[in-house]
Amino acid sequence: MTQIDKKATTGIQMTVGGSARTGHNIQFEQESAIRDVFGTDDNQLAESLLRHCLKPLNTHEIDGDNPSADERTFMLAIINDLKPTDAVERMLAVQMATTHVATIRAGNWLSRAESLPQGQAHSTAYSKLARTFTAQVEALRKHRTGGKQTVTVQHVNVSEGGQAIVGNVQTGGRG
């Protein structure tokens, strides 16, 4: 089992082990840690969201014997960093982590393509995933801000022969 010390950056320590074949073994040092990651007080909901994170991962991306290839800790760290606060944010955080991993996976496949049709297929997948991630980021931003955008428009009239200064003007200083 691999000991992952996340305490320095996230305040959470967990142990990740097992695999897709042998079964996942993810243990949090503090009982509330899984709920904290997903921003919920419901332990069953947090465990369900954890299972949703694991479903799209390939077998080689879930390997307690090879921590550098284990995407489980990455996904949980990203979700924890996003700090979801409600159901929509929790689901988006899981989707965003999953989409990012899939995008990187598609980029890997693209770099290993050996034929033009293979390269085109992987390029298309990579592009669609990258656009999806961007849309997810925008959806999260809109959800968090209530869809409000602030635009400041300033209008300056300058009469003939006049001068205008655009920028920050400070008065005073040395005289």
pLDDT for residue 169: 65
Pairwise CA distance, residues 24 & 67, whole Å: 13
Tell me: the pLDDT tens digits for 26-45? 888 888 899 999 999 999 99
Pairwise CA distance, residues 83 & 88, whole Å: 12
pLDDT for residue 99: 97
**Local structure of residue 5 (DSSP, 8 states):** E
Answer yes or no: is pLDDT of 8 > 70: no
Pairwise CA distance, residues 45 & 90, whole Å: 10
Which is nearest to 128 in space by CA: 138, 140, 120?
120
pLDDT for residue 163: 78
Pairwise CA distance, residues 165 & 78, whole Å: 45
Three-class DSSP category at 61: helix
Three-class DSSP category at 55: coil
Tell me: the pLDDT tens digits for 132-159? 999 999 999 999 999 777 777 777 788 8
Tell me: the pLDDT tens digits for 92-118? 999 999 999 999 999 999 999 999 999
Number of H-type helices and E-type strands within the chain: 6, 3
Domain boundaries along the sequence of the chain: 2-145
